[in-house]
Structure formats: structure tokens, C-alpha cells
Amino acid sequence: MSQSPMAEIQRYPFSKDALNDLRDNAFAAGNWPLVYVLSDEKHGRAYIGETTDTLTRMSTHLKHDEKQLLTAVHLITSEYFNKSATLDVESLLIKYMAADGKYTLLNGNLGLADHNYYQRSALYEEVFREVWNRLIAKGVVSRTLDHLDNSDVFKYSPYKSLSFDQRQGLLTILHELTNPGVQNIVVEGGAGTGKSVLAIFLFKLLTSEDHQISLREFSDEEAEIHALLKSLRETLPKPKMALVVPMTSFRTTLKNAFKHVAGLSSDMVISPSELTKQRYDIVLVDESHRLRKRKNLGAYFGSFDKACQALDMDKHTCSEVDWVCQQANKAIFFYDEGQSIKPSDADVEVFQLLKAAKGSVTHRLLSQFRVKAGQPYVEFVDKLLKGGVDDGVVFTAKNYEFEVFDSLSDMVSTIHEKEQQVGLSRLIAGYSWPWASKKDSEAYDIVIDDVQLRWNSTNTDWINKAGSHREVGCIHTTQGYDLNYAGIIFGEEIRYDPESQVIVIEKGNYHDRTGGQGIKDPEELKQYIINIYRTIMLRGIRGTFVYACDDALRDYLKQHIPVHSSGQPEPENTNVVELEPYVNAVPLFDLQAAAGGFGELSEVSELDPNRHLDWVAVPEGVRVRKDMFACRVFGESMNRVIPNGAVCLFRTDRGGSRNGKTVLVECIDSVDAESGSRYTVKVYESYKVDDEQGWRHTRIQLSPNSYDDNFQPLELTDEEALKYRVVGEFVGVIDD
């Protein structure tokens, strides 16, 4: 029985003549709350709105200079909609369609505020997901919500909900921008407090025309913000602005994000040295703790000296902070002292003097909303790295996965699983191994027991590089980014002394040449390295996993962090049944590790149990055959039968009719997008005709069996079918 739709979408021409057609829509004619999308596919423009008076609202839009040029209206209706729900769906559509990029939005709804209402999580998140999937079906949007959630264009879009803390920060900044006595504004906040989101939102707000700004969700603050903007525009009608980002990788990411936002462009995001080209009315500096001074700059020495000369500054005494102050009439620094991670970073004292100077003001952001475990997790990490956690205290959070691993191999496998399930899951390590693979791409940089890993193969936008979950990032390629899951490797440069009960740094094992050179005080180096681990431990939104090379440090972490279970349950009694290959156990294969195949599955009966080490017990009552094997199946395309991540039992394909059966299929020359391997599990259907040459296939269909209608069947012609091979028939789920 098919489920009745939770939402419907109907398309109409957008014109005066077509208004009568809308009267036939019961929701539009009956003044029901609904959401609508006006669009013009030819010119790639769209407008999103909500209303309870559809006919009047459409008539008004037809008189608007820009909106009357749009050509189609999609009415989004649902019997579940109420005013709160339509406001929420409208806000979500603005955020996601802006990131989807198919249309440039005419909306000015900056700063859409989150608000709760009855059954928002229980019901309306599912309603919105159905709305989005139907918009994909209608061709209004193109990318899935899961893809957009992980995209930088979405994460760094100005069409984001601001927290109360961020809104107060915005008001403070606007007040000081209109104050002629203030030149420098320092916005302080720890990792995950939304400094980058606030910076980008502010940048978009200050570069938007008045008619493009709608701040209705700011409620009581809307009038105040408009008054402040009006006052600012009287002196700066079109301010010359730049967003300075010190780190190359993160700067590239933000340039890409700006490219997809109407009114912004990638050349608005600049490096510190580009400040020498011109003066600006307003300069925003994100990650300003990474502005540099003339120490340990490596190849950047020449550029630094050239910029100092162009600005007529003493290269030995100035820093990039001074460049900003000189080249900006108003400068806004987004700053976190705890994320200064190397000697080339401008000294803390420089920012202390800046904050204390006449003409400077400081505002602090307190709310942590990157990490789902919130501020308690941030405070715990601080104490953990300072050795200040009380005996017996173990940090846990219901909505956050936080574990320490005894095996690096297990942690690597877990990160790979998370990458398959939700994406944006990466390994990050302290800089305690040389970068051998930079010169020899075949070399491994990090070798621990049976694990061989390489450092990030690029310094530019590494987080988004295909295959980066199989590499290891460092602080320089991850600072500023959000991840779903972070796997942190505490390297050989950091250990724990059980006698003194303090963390100790081994300088000889720290291989960031510009990060440790010239430091004579061991405590100074220790603070930089502690800052590095603190920063990377605050990358993961959904979870953080840790492994320490030093045994004593690992034991210390295990005292305060839940220990990862290997997945092998402890026996409840002593009657442990030993696994006997092909008696009560079958071989277990890793589909994700099978880059091109793990051997001919038709030959599993000939496997040598002494050579194949992975075996799994079959459920009691199942008759074991030598043509059986097991695989872990990832993804949601078969979730009516196979839960995501379940271990499943198969038997090798024996021919005969497969129609209606669930099968394991090998993709000969491609990779299945969902599983990330050359194997996929689907329901098999073959359609044949009988002609003068006998029975022949007209097509083969590989279908999902999912509660998610987003998964579509794969239709194969005779020629295409040659690229796919059925290798196994599904027997049942062993363990979900």
C-alpha cells in the first residue's frame, strides 16, 4: 500500500491571464497557508514566499518590477501546513535553494531566525524532505538535501539562521560601524561559535540594496537594524569592502561560496597581502588569529617584506594586523586566541594592544553550536588537554559520538563507515610525521602497526577533495572547516607523564618546520601544540574519535572518554561457540575496500580458512553451504529489508530466474554512488519478449526497496547490462 503524499506541488504559468487557473486550486482559493516558488528558468531567477491569501499575493507580485518578469509559479500545499510550518518551509527553501544554485534568488530574507512549534521535529522535518524531493522531481532544484548539508556553499551561505548570540553581535557591530569614534571591532569567540557565518552574513547585509533586505524574523530588532543601516548608508552609500582570510585553503573555499551568492563575488575574498592594492571602507578579517608576523614564514618571507615596503612599514616590528588597521577605515577582526597554532601567528599581545587601543571595541560570542554536544564538550576538551579533569569523570552526551580507540585500524574503518553514511568524515593528525609523500606520491607518511596513511595530497580545499577521507589532514587544511565526524590521531610529539600527571611535548618529533623553529621556551611550543589539538577536536559536528600513539596518553584519555567497542560483544557465559568455516560461519568481505573486486565470488567455496581471516557466524538454523558469504551493506536504498550497515548473508549466483529477488551486483567499470564501491544490492527484474529468434531480454531493471522514494530504479538495455554482473543472491540479514 502506497503512503499518501504529505505535500503536493502544482505548477501554473505566472501571468494575469493564468490567475483564474489558481482559483481551481482548493488551497489557494480557500485561503489555506501555503508556500510558493516563482521562477524563470531561462534567466535562472526565482522568488520564494508563503501566504494565506494566494490570489491577492500573486496579483501584488505581478505589479512588482522584478517579480512580474518571472514565468512560472509552483504552489506547495499540504494538509499539515499551518502558519508556523509555512514560515519554516519558506525559510528552509530560501537557505537550500540559495545553496542549490539552479536559481539566483530575488529574496532579501537575510537572517532567517529559527523558531520552534508543535511537532516541528516529529513531523515537519519529514514534510520538508518530501517537499524537497518533489521539487527535484519537478526540476525546480537539482541537488539532494544530504549533499547540500555537506556543501560549503550551504555552510557559508548568508541565508542562514542566526542565533540570539549572533544577532546581538550583529547589532553591536552595526552600532560601532556608525560610531565615528570607533575604527576597530574585535569579535571574540571559540571554535564553533559562528564567527564565519556572522562575518559572511554581515558582508552580504552591508553590500545589499535596501529593497533586497527583509529582516522580518528579527522581530523586535528589525527596526533597529534598518535604522542603523540607513545611518550607515548616509555616510557610506556603497562601501568598498573586503573579507580577508589568512589561510590559503579556507580562503579558496570561501571564494567558491561567494561565487554562488547573488551580489557577492570571489574577488571580494582576499589574502592579507592583497590589502596593499587599495584602501577599503570596511575590512572584515575571518580567522584573524592566523594573521602573521615576520617569523618562520618560509617561502612567504619575500611577499611579506614586499607588502611591508609598499605600506611603508618596518618589516621587523609590524604584523598583518597592522596592515589591516592601516588599509581599513573600519576593521572587524573575528578572533580566537585559542586557535593561534604557530610562531608566525601574530602575538597575543598584538591583539591585547589592539583591544585596549583608543577607537577599539570588543564583543564576545559565547554560544557553541557547531558541536552537537555544545559548550560542555568545549569546556571538557579544554580541561582534558590541560590535565584538569577530575578523577572518575567520563564525558558523554546523548546526541554526540565521542570515543577513544585502542586500535588505529578500527578508528580508520569507523571514519570510512561514517563517510559512506553521512559524508564529511576525515582523519586529522598532529604534525609529528614528515611529509614524505609530497615528493614521492607512492610513499606512506604515517605508519602505525598495520596502518599505512598519507598526508593530505593538496593544501587547497582538501576537505572537499574526492577521496580525502582516505588521507590525513593537518591543522592547516582543516582549521575553519566543519566536519560531520573527525578522527583525531595524537601523534608522537605529544605524550603523557603518569608520575607528574601532565602532558609532555617531544620537540624532536614535531615536524612542522615553521611551527617549531626558533622557539626556545618549551612551554610556548606546548601551548601551540595544545591549541592545535584543541582546534581539531572541535571540528566534528556529530562526533569526534581519538587515538593516541603514546600508550600512557591513551590510558589517560581512556580514563575520561568512552572507550570504543570493537563490535565483538563480550560473551555472556563460558559456552562460547568457536567459528568453524563452512560449518557455522561464512567468509566476510569488505565491499568498501574492494576497489576493483575482492576476487571471484564464484570461488568462495575454495577459500583457504587459514588465509582468509574474516569469518562471521550465521544465524542459528541456517544451513551453511560452501557457496555462501557475507558482506556489510551500507546505504538506505534497501532499508525496507536491509538496515544501513547491516551484515547480510548471500549465496553465489547459480543462474535461473532472479526476478523479484534481491541480488548483489558488481558494476564492472563504475562505482555505485551510494555504497562507494563497485557493488550494489538491488531487486532484480528482467523483461523479455518472444519473437522468431526465441526469448530475449528487452531490459533489466535494478530497483531499490526503500522507504525513501528518492531512490530510483536503474534501467539497463542489453548493451548496458554487459557492464553489470550478478554475483550473489540475498539470503537474509545476519546482524543489523
Residue 680 CA to chain centroid, in angstroms? 25
Query: What's the pLDDT band for 108 if we cut at 50, 70, 90?
Result: low
- Average pLDDT for 86-91: 88
Write the burial class of residue 490 (CB in 10 Å: 0-12 exposed, 13-18 middle, 19+ buried).
Answer: buried
Q: Answer whether residue 569 shows pLDDT above 60.
A: no
Residue for cell digits 537594524? Answer: 225
Mean pLDDT of 68-82: 91
Chain centroid to Cα 41, Å, comes to: 29
Which set of grid coordinates corresponds to residue 241? 569592502
Cell triple for 51 = 501566504
Give dist(CA 151, CA 157) in Å, integer. 10
Cα(430)–Cα(472) distance, integer angstroms: 10
Q: Which residue has the cell 516558488?
A: 37
Helix (H) or strand (E) holding 329: strand 328-335
| 320 pLDDT higher than 60 | yes
- CA–CA dist 142, 127 (Å, integer): 18
| pLDDT exceeds 70 at position 112 | no
In whole angstroms, give the CA distance from residue 636 to residue 656: 28
Which cell numbers hold the place of 700? Answer: 533489466
Strands 662-667, 679-691: parallel, antiparallel or unpaired by DSSP?
Answer: antiparallel
- Tell me what pLDDT residue 214 has: 60
Task: State how far the Cα of 635 lies from the Cα of 643, in Å rounded to an integer.
Answer: 8
Amino acid at 410: D
pLDDT tens sequence across 133-145 = 888 878 888 888 8
Cα torsion 655, 657, 663, 664 to 10°: value is 30
> pTM of the prediction?
0.65
Q: What is the pLDDT of residues 48-63, one digit of tens each?
A: 999 999 999 999 999 8
C-alpha cell at 580: 568453524
Specify the pLDDT at position 728.
Answer: 86
What pLDDT band is residue 675 in, cutting at 50, 70 and 90? low
Element (H, E) at 363: strand 360-364
Percent of the chain at pLDDT > 90 equals 38
DSSP string, 586-614: EEEE-TTT-SS-SS-GGGGGG--TTT---
Cβ(614)–Cβ(587) below 8 Å: yes
Mean pLDDT across the stretch 102-107?
82
Cα separation, 493 vs 497, in Å, equals 13
- What is the rounded distance in angstroms from the CA atom of residue 194 to the CA atom of residue 203? 14
pLDDT at 596 over 50: no
What are the E-state strand segments in 82-138? 104-105
pLDDT greater at residue 44 or residue 486:
486
pLDDT tens digits, 683-718? 888 866 555 555 555 678 888 888 888 888 888 877
- What was the pLDDT predicted at 576? 58
Q: What is the pLDDT of residue 111?
A: 47
Report residue 206 as a C-alpha cell. Answer: 552591508
What average pLDDT does the structure give for the chain?
85
Beta strands in 150-264 (DSSP E): 184-188, 241-244
DSSP E strands in 86-162: the ranges are: 104-105
Extract the C-alpha cell encoding 599: 576476487
Contacts of 198 (CB under 8 A, 6+ apart): 162, 166, 169, 170, 187, 334, 365
pLDDT at residue 575 above 60? Answer: no
Residue 642 has pLDDT above 80, yes or no: yes
